[in-house]
Amino acid sequence: MNREQPFDISAVREVIAARRDMPGAMLPILHGIQEAIGFVPADAVPMIADALNVSRAEVHGVISFYHHFRQQPAGLHVMQICRAEACQAVGGEMLARHAEQALGCAFHETTADGKFTLEPVYCLGLCACGPNLVVDGQLHARMNIVKLNQLLQSKREIS
Number of H helices, E strands in the chain: 7, 5
Under 8 Å between Cβ of 140 and 147: yes
Contact 122, 84 (CB under 8 A): yes
Q: Record the pTM.
A: 0.78
Q: What is the mean pLDDT of the chain?
A: 93
At residue 123, what is the residue type?
C
> How confident is the model over 119-135, as pLDDT tens digits?
999 999 999 999 999 99
Q: Which of 157, 92, 158, 155 is nearest to 124 (CA)?
A: 92
Query: Which architecture, in CATH terms, is 77-158?
Result: 3-Layer(aba) Sandwich (3.40)
Contact 103, 90 (CB under 8 A): no
pLDDT of the residue at 3:
45
Taking CA atoms, 102 is separated from 111, 113, 118, 153, in Å, by 10, 13, 11, 10
Where in the chain do CATH 3.40.30.10 domains reside? 77-158
